[in-house]
Amino acid sequence: MEPLTELKQRLAEIADVQRAQSVLAWDMEVWMPPGGQKSRATQLATLEKIAHVRQTDDRIGELLDELEPQRASLDPDSDDACILRAARRDFEKLRRVPAELAGELAQVQAESHQAWVGARETSDFAAFQPWLERILELRRRWIECFAPYDDPYDVVLDDFEEGMRTEDVRAIFATLAPEISALVVAHASDEQDEFMQGPFALDQQEVLSRELIEAFGASWDAFRLDVVVHPFEVTLGVGDVRLTTRYAEDDLTSLFTAMHECGHGLYEWGVSPRLDRTPVAGGGSAALHESQSRLWENVVGRSLPFWRWFYPRVRNAFPDQLGNVPLTDFQRAVNRARRTFIRVDADETSYGLHVILRFELEQELVAGRLAVKDLPDAWNARFEELVGLEVPNDRLGVLQDSHWSTGLFGYFPTYLIGSVLSVQIWEKAREAHPDLEEQFERGEFAELHEWLRSNLYVHGSKFTPAETIERVVGGPIDSQPYLRYLRDKLGTLAAA
Query: What is the residue-wise DSSP string for 60-116?
Result: HHHHHHHHHHHHHHS-TTSHHHHHHHHHHHHHHHHTTS-HHHHHHHHHHHHHHHHHH
Q: What is the pLDDT of residues 14-42, one digit of tens each?
A: 999 999 999 999 999 999 998 999 999 99
Query: Whole-angstrom Cα distance, residue 174 to residue 179?
Result: 9
- Give CA separation, 360 vs 170, 346, 378, 412, in Å: 9, 19, 10, 10
Question: In this predicted structure, which of 197-201, 203-207, 342-346 has the lowest mean pLDDT?
Answer: 342-346
Q: Which residue(s) pair with 240 in the sheet? A: 237
Helix (H, G, I), strand (E, B) or coil at 176: helix
CATH 1.10.1370.30 residue window(s) in the chain: 166-495
Closest CA to 378 of 368, 392, 364, 366: 364
Do the beta carbons of residue 485 and residue 257 sit within 8 Å? no
Instruction: Give catalytic status of residue 62 as yes or no.
Output: no
- Residue 240: DSSP 8-state: E
Identified catalytic residue from 261, 297, 348, 360: 261
CB 131 within 8 A of CB 157: no
Give CA–CA dist 261/375, Å, rounded. 29
pLDDT at 178: 96
For residue 63, pLDDT over 90 is answered with yes
Q: How far apart are CA 307 and CA 451, in angstroms?
A: 22
Q: How many residues does the chain have?
A: 496
Element (H, E) at 436: helix 436-441
Assign 252 a pLDDT band (cuts: 50, 70, 90).
very high
pTM to 2 decimal places: 0.95
pLDDT at 94: 96
Question: Does residue 166 surpass a pLDDT of 90?
Answer: yes
pLDDT single digits (tens) 261-270: 999 999 999 9
Q: Measured on CA atoms in the order 475, 479, 482, 484, is the torsion positive or negative?
A: negative
pLDDT, residue 495, reads 81
Backbone angles phi, psi at 392, to 5 degrees: -85, -25
- Helix or strand holding residue 438 (H, E): helix 436-441
CB atoms within 10 A of CB 37: 17
Report which secondary-structure segment, H or E, holds 234.
strand 233-237
Question: Residue 220 pLDDT > 90, yes or no?
Answer: yes
> Would you state the pLDDT for residue 334?
94
Q: Is 351 helix (H, G, I), strand (E, B) or coil?
A: helix
The strand pair at 223-227 and 233-237 is best described as unpaired
Q: Do the beta carbons of residue 54 and residue 14 sit within 8 Å?
A: yes
Confidence of residue 190 (pLDDT cuts 50, 70, 90): confident
> How sure is the predictor about 191, in pLDDT bands with cuts at 50, 70 and 90?
confident
Which pLDDT score is estimated for 494? 84
Contact partners, residue 299, CB within 8 Å, separation at least 6: 422, 423, 426, 485
Q: Is 281 in contact with 275 (CB distance < 8 Å)?
A: yes
Give the pairing of strands 240-245 and 233-237.
antiparallel
β-sheet with 223-227: strand ranges across: 223-227, 240-245, 233-237
Look at residue 225 in the predicted model and tell me its pLDDT. Answer: 98
In this prediction, residue 344 carries a pLDDT of: 87
Asked whether residue 496 carries a pLDDT value surpassing 80, the answer given is no
The number of helix segments (H) and strand segments (E) in the chain equals 21, 3
Our measurement of the distance from residue 126's CA atom to the centroid of its chain's CA atoms, rounded to an integer in Å, reads 27
Name the CATH topology of 166-495: Neurolysin; domain 3 (1.10.1370)
